Amino acid sequence: MRVLVAEDDPAIAAGLCAALRESGHSVDRVESGRQADHALSDHAYSLLVLDLGLPGLDGTEVLQRLRQRGDQLSVLVVTARDGVADRVRVLDLGADDYLVKPFALTEFSARTRALLRRRASHGAPEMHLGHLRLDLPGRRAWVDARSLELTAREFSLLEALALRQGKLTSRTQLVESLCDWDQELTDNGLDIAMHRLRRKLKGSHTRVRTVRGLGYVLEESADGQESS
Ligand code: CA
């Protein structure tokens, strides 16, 4: 999934970004409240990791604006402010969880997993399509009982398609969900990942249908018909 980290301390930000990337997420990092506000308006994220003490626009203001726009994105606040009043205020403004610095990166990773699990599932921990089963927070996939060996990129591709199953996903949307700002994905790179994913989905009774010039649709194919 794609995560935005808004943190002005370079050392802390580096740790958070590394932990998130290790869990297979695409990560964008911003250093000020304004940058966070712009990034949140311009891109679709699955999670925001938000420091409260940000230069320019304070983290609480970023959160307030986000919720005022009606954005239900999961928000994990990480802050040095540890007073009860601070915590209550942030949770009341719509944060989903709260970590007080300093914290262990293992706890940070566990909290992000829990948040993404809640978000992905709304109660159901898995997604099913055809004979395909997906554990989004655990980043695992199976065809019947067979575990699929997917690279991080292939899983992200499958995830992006599965979250919009039956609906069209454009190439731009796929590239957005696969990449952070520091990476580039060429058209060719997307085609290669798609080719490999389709090959691995054989026997899953699902297919990735190409809608020429528009994008792709992940759908059930009752007869085991292959991708086109
Ligand atoms: Ca700070």
Return the CATH number at 105. Answer: 3.40.50.2300
Q: How far is the CA of 137 from the centre of ligand 1 (A)?
A: 28
pLDDT in tens, 19-59: 999 888 889 999 999 999 999 988 878 899 999 999 999 99
Joined tokens for residue 105 = 């990166």
How many angstroms is it from 59 CA to the middle of ligand 1? 9
Least confident stretch, 106-110, 139-143, 197-201, 207-211: 139-143
Domain-embedded: residue 226: no
Shared domain for 148 and 114, answered yes or no, is no
If asked whether residues 104 and 48 sit together in one domain, one would say yes
Distance 212 CA to ligand 1 centre (A): 46
Range of the domain at 174: 127-220
Do 117 and 146 belong together in one domain? Answer: no
Q: How far is the CA of 40 from the centre of ligand 1 (A)?
A: 18
Q: Which residues contact 52 (CB under 8 A, 6 or more apart)?
A: 58, 59, 60, 77, 79, 81, 86, 90
Instruction: Give the distance (Å) from ligand 1 centre to CA of residue 74.
Output: 20
Looking at every residue in the chain, the average pLDDT score rounds to 88
The number of folded domains in the chain is 2
* Residue for token pair 């808004």: 6
DSSP state of 101: S
What distance in angstroms lies between residue 12's CA and the mean position of ligand 1's atoms?
A: 9
Distance (angstroms) between ligand 1 centre and the Cα of 53 equals 4
**196 CB neighbour count, 10 Å cutoff:** 15
pLDDT at 122: 56
| Ligand 1 centroid from CA 32, angstroms | 9
Residues 90 and 170 in one domain: no
Would you call 31 helix, strand, or coil by DSSP? coil
Q: Are residues 104 and 207 in the same domain?
A: no
Q: Indicate whether 11 and 117 sit together in one domain.
A: yes
Cα(first)–Cα(last) distance of the chain, in Å?
A: 26
3-state secondary structure of 219: strand
Whether 102 and 141 map to the same domain: the answer is: no
Q: How far is the CA of 195 from the centre of ligand 1 (A)?
A: 43
- Tell whether 24 and 131 lie within a shared domain: no
